[in-house]
């Protein structure tokens, strides 16, 4: 996270902020669930210096007042409602009538409605609660820029000088000439005699752009902000938060010095859910706060640290303990620093940077990989411990695409944790080479990478072209590299990568979340025509120009939510599906559902090599404890904390199981029987248990 005490890369900002102007939906709260910890944080840490809180929203006044009454939002000082068409003084409980008077100029509601009806576009009225005398709101799905421009021309030809605001690829608002969020905010600032440089705004979509357009304004864009807002703010002195929605606003407020750093650690309350199946799981968790099981969870943490230290070598983290795994044939390559494995291990062990031995190994891991990165930017698949020799391919001589992706992500996480900017500067040129090499795998410039078969961590499993897991990492790598550029002071280039990441995100959701809903104004590919025949509750595993896979890649879907590609609404639907089909049984968690059986069109003859990818084996539905760590964090982020704790207990059980002795943290387990299999004392299994446990570090022992 980019916090205020990292002075060398801070944006220039005024710390005497006097007024906050924040959008509500998907900025302060989740639009679908209304969940946010902003109220809790603001109530606890609000500065006692006369700072004014203003909501600047498309919602109408009564709707906002209802959210305040229910406790969803804290009490503000002012409400700018209806996309800048009303200003409400919350303290006196009254509308500022003098602002309404300036909106009348050139506004004719009947003419607005007539022009919209005559356009001929598939436009539908939004519900009545979103309409009032100075605002007409409509639904217009996926309209290209030229459509919006034509609407503006129609109003101009009718001598109607109005504001046409289009946002979120579906919301069309027609407002009076002077009505938008920015003009209303400027009017309020003038009334209160507050210079705009002493105001701070936050938003997520194009209808917030008018706020960011004010002279000298300071701003926060949350991580889930849409591309149109990124395009506007990427070259400005605006803080782009690492976190989403309310958490992102809190992060930005910490950056600007409005809130203390400890406010970031305030967690979400348990999310309420109306889903009966999930309720049954959470009301009767495996754990039930039993002392013995709590003890086992904490014992697992201590054993995980011991297992992790078994993988410390002079070159960095090994994939598995050298002394506990005798190599046999091709298994010799396990005695290496694997880029992918060690990067995931570093991410999982970042809470242990205070341990000098572990921290030294984290740092050495990056040095080993960077020093062997090729001149064209390819990170080695692994570096042999015996002779420090790099290998740039895996099984069958196929390159490992996700090695570079994970290294970029892990390096960012490491730098933000340690604040070691000298280490960042030392390898920033190498990082650029890595991003160039990765970007070259987008052969048709559609923002998605083309992955060779078995070209990632499932190196004996047949998936290729646009693979969900790799595309999620590609999105995250662009975000992380953009953040690293910010840390190094290159804001211009940083903006380009962060903007491109939003294009990648949009392409992922559009291509991997099938829907029967008609997508207007868009061309339809062959694969889209095929999978538009049905709907799904998750991001599908693979898409090519000629076919697709309906299988559920569990790790890909878990990372999609953890890294902010999908929102909580989609994540809840995905979780409901994965829980229903039992991907967490017998232990968390199987990597794919359903498994591929012989005779299935997706079956490959090489699945029988070493009997690795038989059904419920290895990458074909095996239980992977390192994925289980991400699974626990996924559930925790959903707000289902009791269930996350229950799953952490089950994760402790599978890690405790061993081939020869307890707490072997094996590589994988059989997806049907749960029996431990693969290498013993696997580094990433231990590290991701440590990471998952970190969410419950204050659990009473």
Which DSSP string corresponds to 69-129? HTTSS---SEEEETTTTEEEETTTTEE-HHHHHHH-TT--HHHHHHHHHHS-S--EEPPGG
Q: How confident is the model at residue 395 (pLDDT cuts 50, 70, 90)?
A: low
Q: Which domains occur in the chain, in start order?
A: 1-92+180-269 (3.40.50.1000), 106-177 (3.90.1070.10), 274-309+570-701 (no CATH), 313-440 (no CATH), 441-565 (no CATH)
Question: Which of 80-94, 262-276, 304-318, 511-525 is least confident?
Answer: 262-276
Q: Is the pLDDT of residue 114 over 80?
A: yes
pLDDT at 366 over 90: yes
Radius of gyration of the chain (CA): 26
Rounded Cα distance, 471 and 480, in Å: 14
β-strand partners of 86 = 81
Beta bridge partners of 163: 175
Kindly tell me the burial class for residue 85, based on how many C-beta atoms sit within 10 Å of its own C-beta (0-12, 13-18, 19 or more): buried
What CA–CA distance (Å, rounded) separates 684 from 520?
Answer: 44
> Between β-strands 19-22 and 199-203, what pairing exists: parallel, antiparallel or unpaired?
parallel
Buried b (16+ CB within 10 A) or exposed e, 127-160: eeebbbebbbbbebbebeeebeeebeeebeeeeb
The answer to whether the beta carbons of residues 463 and 541 sit under 8 Å apart is yes
d(CA 470, CA 396): 19
Assess whether the previous peptide bond of 594 is cis (omega < 30° from 0).
yes
Q: Are 5 and 421 in contact (CB under 8 A)?
A: no
CA distance 304 to 310: 10
Residues in a beta bridge with 200: 20, 218
CA–CA dist 229, 380 (Å, integer):
37
pLDDT (mean) for 594-600:
90
Query: For the segment 135-154, what is each residue's pLDDT rounded down to a tens digit?
Result: 888 999 888 888 999 998 98
> 3-class SS at 593?
strand
As given in the structure block, the two tokens for residue 565 are: 């590609």
Query: Which of 237-246, 323-332, 524-533, 634-643 is modeled with the greatest confidence?
Result: 634-643
pLDDT over 80 at 24, yes or no: yes
Q: Which of 105, 63, 35, 36 is nearest to 79 (CA)?
A: 63
| Cα–Cα distance measured from residue 362 to residue 315, given in angstroms and rounded to the nearest whole number | 10
Per-residue pLDDT reduced to its tens digit, 502-540? 889 888 988 898 766 544 444 455 445 555 556 789 999
Choice among 26-40, 75-89, 662-676 with the minimum mean pLDDT: 26-40
Say if CB 469 and CB 476 are below 8 A apart.
Answer: no
Cβ atoms of 307 and 656 closer than 8 Å: no
Which pair of structure tokens corresponds to residue 1? 């996270």
489: left (phi over 0), alpha (psi -120 to 50) or beta: left
> Residue 384 pairs with which residues in a beta bridge?
336
Task: Give percent above pLDDT 70 in the chain.
Answer: 89
- Model confidence at 268, in pLDDT bands (50, 70, 90)? very low
pLDDT score at 288: 47
Tokens of 477: 């790598």
Angle 356-371/291-309 helices, nearest 10 degrees? Answer: 50
| Token pair listed for 685 | 């299994």
* Position 578 pLDDT exceeds 60: yes
Task: Name the 3-class secondary structure at 171.
Answer: strand
The distance in angstroms from the start CA to the end CA of the chain is 30
Over range 23-45, report the average pLDDT.
89
Whose tokens are 């990441």? That residue is: 501
Nearest-10 Cα torsion for 490, 493, 496, 499: -20
pLDDT, residue 569, reads 84
pLDDT band at 329, cuts 50/70/90? low
Q: How far is the C-alpha of 468 from the C-alpha of 398, rounded, in Å?
A: 19
User: Rounded to 10 degrees, what is the CA torsion of 309, 312, 318, 323?
Assistant: -70
Alpha-helical runs (H) found in 349-396: 356-371
Q: By C-alpha distance, which of 461, 479, 459, 312 is closest to 409?
A: 479
Burial of 614 (0-12, 13-18, 19+ CB in 10 A): middle
Report which of 637, 648, 650 is spatially closest to residue 697, judged by C-alpha positions: 648
Q: 373 — phi, psi (to 5°)?
A: -65, 135
The structure tokens 């049907």 sit at 672
Q: pTM for this structure?
A: 0.74
**Of residues 231 and 423, more confidently modeled:** 423
CB 316 within 8 A of CB 364: yes
How far lies 496's CA from each of 280, 298, 429, 510, 690, in Å? 46, 44, 17, 21, 35
Contact 612, 675 (CB under 8 A): no
pLDDT tens across 405-430, in order?
A: 999 999 999 999 999 999 999 999 99
Reported as a single tens digit per residue, the pLDDT across 184-230 is: 999 999 999 999 999 999 999 888 988 999 988 999 999 888 877 87
Closest-CA residue to 227 (of 512, 565, 498): 498
pLDDT band at 394; cut points 50, 70, 90: low
Lowest mean pLDDT among 291-295, 510-514, 542-546, 694-698: 694-698
Q: Which of 452-456, 647-651, 660-664 has the lowest average pLDDT? A: 452-456
Q: Which has more confidence, 280 or 169?
A: 169
Both structure tokens of 561: 């939510």
* Overall average pLDDT of the 29-50 stretch: 88
């Amino acid at each position: 996270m980019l916090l205020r005490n990292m002075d060398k890369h801070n944006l220039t900002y005024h710390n005497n902020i006097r007024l906050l102007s924040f959008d509500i939906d998907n900025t302060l709260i989740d639009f679908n669930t209304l969940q946010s910890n902003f109220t809790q944080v603001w109530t606890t840490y609000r500065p006692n210096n006369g700072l004014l809180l203003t909501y600047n929203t498309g919602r109408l006044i009564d709707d906002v007042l209802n959210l305040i009454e229910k406790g969803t939002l804290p009490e503000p000082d002012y409400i700018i409602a209806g996309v800048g068409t009303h200003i409400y003084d919350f303290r006196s409980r009254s509308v500022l009538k003098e602002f309404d008077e300036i909106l009348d100029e050139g506004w004719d509601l009947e003419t607005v409605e007539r022009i919209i009806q005559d356009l001929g576009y598939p436009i539908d009225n939004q519900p009545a609660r979103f309409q009032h005398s100075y605002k007409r709101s409509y639904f217009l799905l996926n309209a290209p820029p030229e459509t919006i421009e034509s609407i503006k021309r129609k109003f101009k030809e009718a001598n109607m000088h109005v504001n046409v605001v289009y946002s979120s690829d579906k919301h069309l608002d027609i407002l009076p000439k002077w009505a938008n969020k920015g003009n209303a905010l400027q009017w309020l600032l003038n009334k209160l005699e507050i210079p705009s440089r002493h105001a701070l705004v936050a938003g997520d979509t194009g209808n917030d752009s008018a706020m960011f357009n004010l002279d000298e304004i300071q701003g926060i864009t949350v991580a889930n902000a849409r591309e149109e807002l990124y395009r506007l703010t990427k070259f400005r002195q605006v803080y782009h938060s690492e976190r989403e929605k309310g958490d992102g606003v809190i992060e930005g407020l910490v950056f600007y010095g409005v809130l203390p750093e400890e406010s970031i650690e305030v967690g979400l309350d348990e999310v309420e859910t109306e889903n009966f199946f999930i309720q049954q799981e959470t009301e009767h968790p495996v754990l039930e706060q039993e002392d013995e099981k709590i003890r086992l969870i904490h014992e697992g943490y201590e054993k995980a640290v011991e297992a992790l230290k078994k993988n410390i070598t002079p070159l960095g983290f090994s994939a598995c303990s050298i002394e506990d795994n005798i190599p046999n044939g091709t298994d010799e390559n396990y005695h290496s620093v694997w880029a992918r494995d060690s990067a995931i291990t570093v991410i999982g062990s970042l809470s242990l940077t205070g341990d000098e031995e572990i921290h030294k190994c984290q740092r050495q891991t990056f040095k080993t990989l960077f020093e062997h990165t090729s001149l064209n930017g390819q990170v080695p698949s692994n570096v042999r411990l015996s002779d420090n020799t790099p290998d740039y391919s895996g099984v069958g001589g196929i390159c490992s695409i996700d090695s570079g992706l994970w290294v970029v992500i892990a390096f960012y996480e490491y730098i933000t944790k340690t604040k070691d900017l000298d280490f960042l500067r030392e390898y920033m040129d190498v990082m650029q080479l890595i991003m160039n090499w990765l970007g070259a795998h987008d052969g048709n410039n559609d923002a998605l990478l083309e992955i060779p078969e078995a070209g990632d961590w499932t190196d004996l499993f047949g998936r290729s072209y646009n693979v969900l897991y790799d595309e999620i990492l590609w999105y995250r790598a662009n975000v992380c590299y953009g953040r690293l550029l910010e840390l190094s002071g290159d804001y211009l280039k940083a903006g380009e990568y962060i903007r491109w990441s939003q294009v990648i995100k949009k392409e992922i959701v559009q291509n991997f979340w099938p829907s029967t809903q008609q997508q207007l104004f868009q061309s339809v590919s062959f694969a889209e025509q095929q999978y538009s025949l049905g709907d799904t509750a998750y991001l599908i595993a693979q898409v090519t120009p000629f076919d697709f896979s309906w299988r559920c890649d569990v790790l890909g879907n878990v990372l999609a939510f953890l890294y902010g590609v999908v929102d909580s609404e989609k994540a809840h639907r995905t979780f409901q599906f994965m829980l229903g089909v039992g991907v967490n049984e017998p232990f968390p968690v199987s990597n794919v559902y359903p498994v591929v059986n012989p005779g299935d069109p997706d079956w490959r003859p090489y699945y029988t090599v070493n009997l690795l990818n038989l059904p419920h084996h290895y990458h074909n539905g095996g239980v992977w404890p390192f994925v289980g760590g991400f699974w626990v964090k996924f559930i925790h982020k959903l707000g289902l904390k009791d269930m996350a704790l229950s799953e952490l207990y089950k994760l402790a059980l599978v890690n405790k199981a061993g081939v020869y002795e307890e707490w072997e943290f094996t590589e994988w387990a059989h997806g049907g029987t749960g029996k431990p299999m693969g290498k013993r004392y696997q580094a990433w299994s231990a590290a991701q248990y440590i990471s998952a446990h970190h969410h419950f570090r204050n659990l009473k022992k």
